[in-house]
Structure 1
């Protein structure tokens, strides 16, 4: 189902393992800042970037297909037109509970595909901002 309301966002944020598609090694990019924040707040981060060997002190994987462990959330930092191929990988895995498209990223057709396969979808929201608003975090 599409997630827009606070209760739905909070439910997704209560999950733990986040595969970050498009994770960046560049400290100044949102695709590094936001997952690093999430890692500091207890999330298990799995970087997915075919151009990197390691990000956040963790092995980076070339695609979601290569991640050998269970994933709760797929956080997307890629252009909207790339979302359908990412959703195809999510649906093929059968373990992902939610897809989170960062601010500025939307793809309605891909969202419908994910939702039809039982995956919750958040579009065009910043995971860091929503976490800061909705979750209690003693580290701040």
Structure 2
């Protein structure tokens, strides 16, 4: 069974992070991925959209995949269904991002264990906006 980091560790992750790559970020303001990412952008994080179906979101150019990110990313936040996590995990391991975070109801224990065994921090089935609001001073 997967075990997410404790709240104090999540607080530290969010305090130290500057850049969040958002896989599946929509350019539609009615979508949860957009509103959550906008809230994080408004809180001071640089957002990098990763979605091959759009050109930009939140004023940032969208990239086709995690492999296309030229700069360091602190958190990869995933807004895709659980069945896509295995392939995303492979792309993620090509990055230097220390944290792989999936939104509510997005869970794959095999991916959790694989990434954790590679020394990466994995947070699954948690909303980054909610965690930010309850862990920040």
Pairwise same-fold verdict (TM > 0.5): yes
Alpha-carbon deviation of 1:84? 1.1
Match of 1:86 in 2: 88
For this pair of structures, how many residues does the alignment match?
135
2:100 corresponds to:
99
**Counterpart secondary structure, 1:109:** helix
Give CA-to-partner distance per residue, 1:45-72, whole Å, 9 cap, x none.
Answer: 0000001111110110000011111111
Q: 2:44 aligned with 1:33, yes or no? A: no
Which residue is 1:120 aligned to? 121
Q: Which residue of 2 aligns with 1:110?
A: 111
Gaps in structure 2 of 5+ consecutive residues:
none
TM-score, length basis structure 2 = 0.94
The CA deviation at 1:104 is 0.8
User: Map of 1:63-78 to 2, 5 A cutoff?
Assistant: 63-78=65-80
- Distance in 2 (alpha carbons) for counterparts of 1:123 and 1:65: 21
How far off is 1:2 after superposition? Answer: 4.3
Structure 2 residue matching 1:92: 3-state secondary structure: coil
Counterpart position of 2:130: 129
What TM-score comes out, normalization by structure 1 length?
A: 0.92
SS in 2 for 1:78: coil
Instruction: Give the deviation of 1:116 after TM superposition.
Output: 1.2
Runs of 4 or more, structure 1, over 3 Å off, are none
